[in-house]
Amino acid sequence: MADEISAAERLACTAARLMKGSTTVFIGTGVPMLAAALARALYAPGLLPIFEFGGVGSPLEKLPLGVGEFNSFRRGVAALGICDVMEAAQRGVVRDGFLGGAQIDSYGNLNTTVIGPYAKPAVRLPGSGGANDVGSLCWRTIILMKHERKRFVEKIDFVTTPGYLTGPGARERAGLPPDTGPYRVVTDLGLFDFEPTAKRMRLIALNPGVTVERVVAETGFKLKLAERLARNDDPTPLELETLRRKIDPERVFL
């Protein structure tokens, strides 16, 4: 069974399990849609998906191809605009947000703007979109990324989305709401949280077949390790069937 599981399926299942009991979530294109739809189907039936361009509450019976596509609004409870949904996050009514990035540092700061100097970058990336708002205003953010040394770096080239910035108290000093910030980082190698005191990323669980040495080798900063490392379970047959037959039967994102 493990050989048949794709990276997207593993990420989606791990992220969906984190959303048990969740109520509202900002979601982006791709794996976040898979995770939110799976969570709604199995773990959080009352989950209210929110899309950047204003779709609220779609049951995700057919996955949208993007955050402004028709199916992000279909059978939803509201069709708003980007300013409306960001204002809702600012008022504190959006609990979770899914994020990704090209680079991440030990404090959970994300870069989706440039690789290299801003004025003359080696690569210009898509930019923030709503990612800064999501990371700044949602109560907790769940970051989904491929785990590579070039992505997990000591210093990101541009802070698109704030994590814990430079450490304890930095978000509050920057004027961001207290008790918000990165909650978990989900990768194809394992699961990470942020140590409560230092606010630095910490490995808490390994994916099947993955070693600590491999995770450390693919991380460009000194990684904290939990005292007792857990082992993530493979996706269950029910999770895989739900993803493959009901959520994304055409394998658009799987």
Provide the annotated active-site residues.
Answer: 52
> How far apart (Å, rounded) are the C-alpha atoms in residues 62 and 70?
10
State the Cα–Cα distance between residues 98 and 194, nearest whole angstrom.
16
8 A C-beta contact, residue 142 and residue 15: yes
Largest CA distance in the chain: 49
